Amino acid sequence: MTDFPLHASGDLPMTPRSGAKAARYAVALWYVLALVGHLAFLAYILAVFYPPIAAHGTAALEGMHLPAGFREGDILGNLAATGHVLLAAIVIGGGPLQLLPALRNRLPRFHRALGRTYVMAAVISAIGGLYMVWTRGTLGGVISHLTISGDGVLILVFAALATYHAVGRRFAAHRRWAMRLFMAASAVWFFRVGLMGWMALTGGVGIDFESFTGPFLYVLGFAQYLLPLAMLEWYFRTQRGVSEGELLVFSGTLTVLSLYMAVGIFAATAGMWLPRM
């Protein structure tokens, strides 16, 4: 992100404002990787779900890789599943664009229109997802169902707060809640990238592939949104003004996480998304 107004306190500088520069590069690296990874997931969603749904409606999900995708006679559940995967394109494609300060400043009307569409898509997706998990189940055990449900609830809360502050024209607060909404709405992307990165690096330690349960998946179930949200709060803190030392630790931590994310993006694209396209 280019608007990263850091205010290093400056009394411990190694080189003047080196921490601010490091943080700016670390945030830019994170953003570019997140953008590329979201585009890869978006391409997968558009290629795998849109053409069959356009041709066959909700029945297109029958026989696909989604255990909770289609049930004969369950019209509401099938609509929820179909709407969920179609709206995923708006959430995954729109989210990274909303974070771009240049777009926000130069095309404010586009930012507002996409913002409204994004919030609606995220809210409907979250409600549909909660409905699917608790009426049809999905891969994994009850802990995974609870952790993804926690994400669904956070999406609803953050969407309400981002909208509330936008309507009240409190733009600083709106921006903070909208960024929290992005992290929660992209948790399913962080999950896939985190999972595939782990498989590439460890071969899947802590995962029982038969039942799709295991300690790593429980940790990832929470980390898919709590870790990005924690890093975001730290980013907000650095913007309020912190020491050079803290800026360097923040930059180092974010860079290590971004490198892990890069491995995960490559592994998810090569091992999960491209083969299904």
Give the interface with ligand HEM as residue ranges (CB under 6 A): 45, 66-69, 84-85, 88, 91-92, 122, 125-126, 129-130, 132-133, 138-139, 148-149, 151-152, 155, 185, 188
How far is the C-alpha of 274 from the C-alpha of 211, rounded, in Å?
Answer: 24
| Residue number with CB closer to ligand HEM (22 or 272) | 272
Smallest gap from residue 90 Cβ to ligand HEM (A): 8
Contact call for residues 68 and 132 (beta carbons, < 8 A): yes
Return the closest-CA partner of residue 134 out of 77, 189, 91: 77
| Residue number with CB closer to ligand HEM (68 or 242) | 68
Task: Give me the half-sphere count of Cα atoms (radius 13 Å) on the Cβ side of residue 79.
Answer: 6
Residue ranges with strand state E in the chain: none
Residue 107: phi and psi, rounded to 5, are: -125, 65
How far is the C-alpha of 177 from the C-alpha of 123, rounded, in Å?
Answer: 14
How far is the C-alpha of 45 from the C-alpha of 39, rounded, in Å?
Answer: 10
| Residue number with CB closer to ligand HEM (97 or 107) | 97
Smallest gap from residue 177 Cβ to ligand HEM (A): 16
Which long-range contacts does 19-23 make (Cβ < 8 Å, 24+ apart)?
19/243, 19/244, 19/245, 19/246, 19/247, 19/248, 19/251, 20/247, 22/247, 22/248, 22/251, 22/252, 23/238, 23/247, 23/250, 23/251, 23/254
| Residue number with CB closer to ligand HEM (188 or 247) | 188
How far is the C-alpha of 218 from the C-alpha of 239, rounded, in Å?
Answer: 32
| Residue number with CB closer to ligand HEM (131 or 250) | 131
| Residue number with CB closer to ligand HEM (39 or 107) | 39
